[in-house]
Amino acid sequence: MLKSIKKLGLFLISAIIVSSCATKDQVVYFDGSENLEGQENLLDYEPVIQKNDVLRITVSSSSINEEIVAPFQHPMMRQGGGNIGGGGQNLSLTGYLVGSNGAIQFPVLGTIEVTGLSRTEIQEMLQLKIREYVKDPVVDVRIVNFSVTVLGEVGSPGRLQITDERITMPELLAMSGDITYNGRRENIKIIREVNGVKTIGYIDMTESDLFESPFYYLKQNDLVYVEPTYRTVKSAGFFSSYQGIISVGTTIISLYFLINSL
């Protein structure tokens, strides 16, 4: 009888220890990535403009005289505030805010609809319109409030300002300190709003097919959440945690042997 109890105790402890170990597939990123060798870029991504975006639009000309493009510059630039969006200024005042109607108010040209267009498409459209007034205009468009929020089991959660307007999920995780040991790598949640409608997607960092996901490239104002592992959730309570179970089990077994030895 005593020998059976000892075997049972050892079995339970061994089962708990084994079940708490993570497998390679749960930890290693990009499993099967060797199959990607030789493939071309899977996604040619460029962000599109959404409502409430703030755009920095500069206009120049191949002409030596820059005064001819001055009427097409943002009023703040004409007043000497050339650092649009910098110095802690209100972006909606120093850039072009995309309104609820999906348009901006551009000097001389008036209302310009921009939602759903890429930066390149807006640049080409504005150059074509300004060409009626200026020879060989050069237009540059930037999103100055492009940011992504990451929460959950990462090294440094928070809101990240993206300067080049193009960021992938692996890049975001690298910027936020990577997923901690307590985070789920196979079920990262992305909450995205498109035209006022929220969409939820998931990324599995342990599989190479993440490169084909529509959520591989993040969009402005995306919310990324890395969930805790089941082990982490269970460890929130003493008796539901592995450490608590082992401690209680060890105490019970010790008391049993102590009582029976009397």
Instruction: Kindly list the structural domains of the chain, giving each domain's residue range(s) and its CATH number in brackets, ordered by start.
Output: 24-37+146-228 (3.10.560.10), 54-143 (3.30.1950.10)
| Range with the poorest average pLDDT among 35-49, 69-83, 131-145, 221-235 | 35-49
pLDDT of residue 22: 52
What are the pLDDT digits (tens) for 205-215?
Answer: 988 888 888 89
What is the rounded average pLDDT of the residues 179-205?
90
pLDDT of residue 232: 73
Taking the model in full, what pTM does it have?
0.69
What are the pLDDT digits (tens) for 133-175?
Answer: 888 889 999 998 899 999 999 999 999 998 888 899 999 999 9
| Range with the poorest average pLDDT among 97-101, 157-161, 201-205, 236-240 | 236-240
Check whether 85 has a pLDDT greater than 50: no
Taking a C-beta distance cutoff of 8 angstroms, is the pair 117, 125 a contact? Answer: yes
What is the rounded average pLDDT of the residues 79-94?
53
* DSSP secondary structure of 6-55: HHHHHHHHHHHHHHTSPPHHHH-SSBTGGGGTTPPPS-----B--TT-EE
Check whether 46 has a pLDDT greater than 90: no
| Alpha-carbon gap, residue 114 to 9, rounded angstroms | 68
Reference 114, options 105, 104, 123, 124; nearest CA is 104
